[in-house]
Homo-oligomer: A and B are copies of this chain.
Amino acid sequence: MAGPRLAIVGATGAVGHELLRVLAQRDFPAGAVRVCASERSWGKSLPFNGSELTVEEATPRVLAESDIVFIAAGSGTSRALAPQAVENGAVVIDKSSVFRMDPDVPLVIPEINGDDLTWHLGIVSSPNCSTTPLAMVLKPLMAISAVERVIVDTYQSVSGAGAEAVRELRLQSAELLDGGAAEARKLPHQIAFNVLPQVETFLEDGYTTEETKLVNETRKILHEPDLALSATCVRVPVTVGHSEAVHIEFRHAVTVEQAREALSQAPGVRVLDDPAAGVYPMPIHAEGEDDVLVGRVRRDVSHPRGLALWLSSDNLRKGAALNSVQIAEELVRRGLLTFERHPEGAKARA
């Protein structure tokens, strides 16, 4: 049987670009690959695996001729196109937050809850780029002891806000080094040589949507609906790679050695933990890497059953494109490309 036919919606963006790279690098057995984007990119060519793909419109026909549609183009596009693609028989792997908390949509990190794919109804969501590395690190530790509370403060790169934010960081950095002023367009304030305690937008309770997603998505992925979790999400002047300082309270004490051992056995996690030798995760290590890097594992001295640790992860790869491709691989492996249709088609238009 020929491999599944793929369409990538949002192919010209930061995540779309990485999706093409990851598909090529992993030799994904695609029957065909089509690339879609907004009107201004139609007709452009994108390199893929030694050939060139032409950007086209995501028409109902393109969707109907695809088995898997990756959508990485913002919430509006996901809301409009996901139900269409599903009605046309495709499975949607969606990077937006639109469907993630929908009880009919599995939110999947294959290493953690691949089994949730079995109940998909056409749409599978891939988690937020700050959620994924946290869940990847919590899951193996939860096999040692239940987790009672997690506090996480993030150090998130600008590529999480898209390719335009990356250009903004570079442009502002150059302007400021030249003695000029920095103009903020994409991000709410100057990001070069600054940090912003704002990722996305604020809700009534003083948390941002990013922080709220981190809490809710982690609970859903880990099947821990009552996990106590709070976060401060901060944008830092880094191009690629999200880092997180994590403080975990366990029900039963977990030693540093037990934690390191469990993490080093976990697929998709790599322990980099020899701080005295200057070895710990950093964004410059994480960029381009598939694994979530974890280190600085130590007793949390403020809690009798606490551990503290630090992680870095490529937000465009495991935080986005890689995880989406892994979902596709898992759907293929489990024979889950045919499905009962998701009722979202009706809901999303309601």
Chain A positions within 8 Å of B, measured between CB atoms, are 149-151, 153, 155, 169-170, 173-174, 177, 188-190, 193-198, 202, 205-208, 215, 228-230, 232, 234, 236-239, 243, 245, 247, 256, 275-276, 278, 280-284, 295-303, 306, 308, 310
Question: Does A198 contact B275, Cβ atoms closer than 8 Å?
Answer: yes
Contact of A245 among B153, B276, B303 (CB under 8 A): B153
Contacts of A238 in B (CB 8 A): 193-195, 237
Is the pair B193, A308 in contact by a Cβ cutoff of 8 Å?
A: no
User: Which residue of the partner chain, among B169, B195, B196, B280, contacts A197 with CB atoms under 8 Å?
Assistant: B280
Per the bound structure, the CA–CA distance linking A298 and B215 in Å amounts to 15
Contact of A308 among B150, B232, B306 (CB under 8 A): B232
What residues of chain B lie closer than 8 Å to A232, measured between beta carbons? 153, 245, 296, 308, 310
Chain B residue numbers with a CB within 8 Å of A275 are 198, 202, 206, 208
CB-CB < 8 A to A206: which residues of B?
256, 275, 296-299
Closest chain B residue to A238, Cβ basis:
B193
B155 touches A207 (CB 8 A): no
Contact of B151 with A243 in the complex, beta carbons under 8 Å: no
CA distance A208 to B245 in the complex (A): 14
- The smallest C-beta distance from A277 to any residue of chain B, in angstroms, reads 9
Instruction: Name which residue of chain B comes closest to A301, CB basis.
Output: B230
Q: A195-B283, A243-B197, A247-B230 are in contact. Are A149 and B236 (CB under 8 A)?
A: no
Partner of A283, one of B170, B194, B215, B256: B194
Which of B173, B174, B188, B300 lies in contact with A230, CB distance below 8 A? B300
